[in-house]
Structure 1
């Protein structure tokens, strides 16, 4: 999963929370993300493009660290 934007991401099915750790070190939780969207991101060739197109500005988020 090499990406110039996303260092790591994980998903909590119970809460629908997608946690993104950016290459910069910042961590954000995106809320109520459907499992299908997480799976699509997991399979996307470019995590950064997918994130910018389908996650940012689409879901509520909270800065974690």
Structure 2
């Protein structure tokens, strides 16, 4: 039986909030940004160029994510279940 995959999330219609990103060492996560004032976590992944924004993320969760030995594992356990907004990433030549 062929493996089935969930339908990808649609792009958000909310306005995009530009958050500076920092490259991270991870097999899954490419870069992470955090806006403490808005409590907004932003993540891009090594596969694909889309940008994911997770609202209402506590500063402690961001700090633990950045300090995690395995960012992919931490992301999967603590951030992936959260609500998010998906935006198209930058076009690369």
Gaps of 5+ in 1: none
Matched length: 64
In the superposition, the TM-score normalised over structure 1's length comes to 0.91
SS of alignment partner, residue 27 of structure 2: coil
Gaps of 5+ in 2: 1-23, 89-93
Higher relative contact order (CA 8 A, sep 6+): 1
Q: Which has the larger radius of gyration?
A: 2
In the superposition, the TM-score normalised over structure 2's length comes to 0.65
- Tell me the C-alpha RMSD between the 2 structures: 0.9
Instruction: Spell out structure 1 runs of 4+ moving beyond 2 A.
Output: none
